[in-house]
Every structure is written in C-alpha cells, then in structure tokens.
C-alpha cells in the first residue's frame, strides 16, 4: 500500500518546523506512515522579487494572492499524478470536524493550499476541489489551519497510534464527548478515584464510562445529542446523568 502523501503550498514553509518536527506527526513521518512535503509558493513567482500578491481590482484594503504563481505551482504539483485532492484553507470553507478528519485520512494524495491576505484570485478556484475552515473566525493565514488538519488526520492513519482503542475512545469518535480519565496517585488533594474504576468489573466500568460520556456531552455540548442515535440503555443512562447534574454531581 503506497504511503499517503500530503503536499502543502505556502508562503511560509518554515511555519511548519515546529508542528511537524515533534510528537506524533514527527513519528508518523519517520515511520513512513505519511509523506509530508512543503512547497514555497514564491518558487513559482517569476519576477525578481518573487512577488506572490498584488492589490485588488476595484480597490479596497489588503492584498490578493496572484493567479500566475498559484496556477503554475498547482499544475506542477499535480503533474503526472492520477488523483490529488486539492483543498484551500479558507474561512469560507466547510467546517473541519471529526468526520472530515476521518474522511481525509483515507485520501492517498492531498494538496493543501494556505491562503493569505484577502484570499486568492478567484480565477484559480477552478483548480481547487474544496475549501476547509477551522471555524467562524479569520486567522493570519492558512498555515495554522493546515497544521491542525494534518495533526488530526494523521492519527487515523494505520500504524500511527499503537493502541487503536485510544483513538476509538476519543471525543467525537461516537458522536459524544469523552469520559473523565484518572491515573496515579489514587488520592490527590483530598480527591480519590471513583471506586468503580478500581473494581476490576469491566462491565460496570464500561457502563460508568458511557454515563460519564453522556453527562459530559449534556453539560458541555448538548447540541451533539441531537446528532447521535441513542439506544434504550443510553437514554436510561442519559436520564441518570441529567439527574446527577441537576443535583450538582
């Protein structure tokens, strides 16, 4: 199976030195679970100053990324390749979430374009397959969004996370928030670990975790409950969780 490849087209390739040279992304690259390639857009600018932006037609504040370097770069990076999903990191895009991270982790070739300034020349959009946004706010550029997208999807690549269960138990994997976690010491500042976690009864532990997951979701993101299908047992646990919250538990 070929190693998934992620190309990132950016004005600031050095931005990724930190995010991609530590932790899980670094290990994934070292183990050849993913091939990440950074490309400086200015390489495709033809004037002596390597200009990649210009003032907008019609006036107004800010600058616009020029079509010539972008078109040349995208053409070069796609040349000779069968299928490359090209995404523009943009506040106008589809909001990035767990589902999209899983979806994109199944792509064998991604090309991320980091927007800047007021955006890119509209005439380049014909070469873009889609736009992705982290949320309803504007960043200084597409680099932070690209770094987040790569970090999120790399976790789902086969062989990156040793314990697959740690991924499948994460928040949002089943549509709900995660349950609380505890580790040693057993007592800390007068607070102990819930007794059920020390019982060794795996059925009771799983039931506790499910209820705590529902409680967390109800308390912090109740909107998520409208998007998931709950079983009869889940609904019973949800009622218990609601009573505990109302009682201050």
DSSP E strand boundaries for 48-129: 53-54, 64-65, 85-95, 109-114
Residue whose entry in the numeric block shows the structure tokens 């889609």: 130
Residue 91 annotated to the active site: yes
Residue 143 annotated to the active site: no
Q: What are phi and psi of 86, to 5 degrees?
A: -105, 120
Q: Which is the catalytic residue, given 35, 40, 54, 118?
A: 118
Residue 35 annotated to the active site: no
Q: Cα–chain-centroid distance for residue 62?
A: 28
Q: Which is the catalytic residue, given 5, 27, 155, 209?
A: 155
158: burial class by Cβ within 10 Å (0-12, 13-18, 19+)?
A: exposed
Q: Which is the catalytic residue, given 7, 69, 91, 212?
A: 91
Rounded Cα–Cα distance for residues 90 and 93 (Å):
5
Cβ contact 152:46 at 8 Å: no
Q: Which is the catalytic residue, given 170, 178, 234, 244?
A: 170
Residue 118 annotated to the active site: yes
- Spatial CB neighbours of 103, under 8 Å, sequence gap ≥ 6: none
For the annotated catalytic residues, the residue numbers are 91, 118, 155, 170
């Amino acid at each position: 199976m070929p190693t998934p490849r992620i190309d990132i087209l950016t004005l600031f390739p050095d931005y990724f030195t930190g995010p991609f040279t530590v932790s899980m992304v670094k290990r994934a690259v070292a183990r050849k679970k993913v091939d990440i390639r950074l490309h400086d857009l200015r390489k495709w600018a033809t004037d002596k100053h390597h200009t990649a932006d210009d003032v907008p037609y019609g006036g107004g504040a800010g600058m616009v990324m020029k079509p010539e370097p972008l078109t040349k770069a995208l053409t070069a990076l796609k040349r000779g390749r069968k299928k490359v999903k090209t995404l523009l990191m943009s506040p106008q895009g589809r909001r990035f979430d767990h589902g999209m991270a899983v979806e994109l982790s199944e792509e064998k070739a991604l090309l991320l374009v980091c927007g800047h300034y007021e955006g890119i020349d509209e005439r380049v959009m014909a070469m873009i397959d889609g736009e992705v946004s982290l949320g309803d706010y504007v960043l200084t550029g597409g680099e932070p969004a690209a770094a987040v997208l790569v970090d999120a999807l790399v976790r789902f690549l086969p062989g990156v996370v040793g314990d697959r269960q740690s991924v499948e138990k994460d928040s949002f994997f089943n549509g709900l928030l995660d349950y609380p976690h505890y580790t040693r010491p057993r007592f800390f500042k007068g607070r102990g670990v819930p007794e059920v976690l020390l019982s060794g009864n795996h059925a009771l532990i799983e039931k506790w975790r499910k209820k705590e997951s529902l409680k967390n979701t109800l308390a912090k993101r109740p909107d998520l409950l409208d998007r998931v299908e709950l079983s009869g047992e889940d609904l019973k646990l949800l009622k218990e969780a609601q009573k505990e919250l109302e009682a201050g538990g």
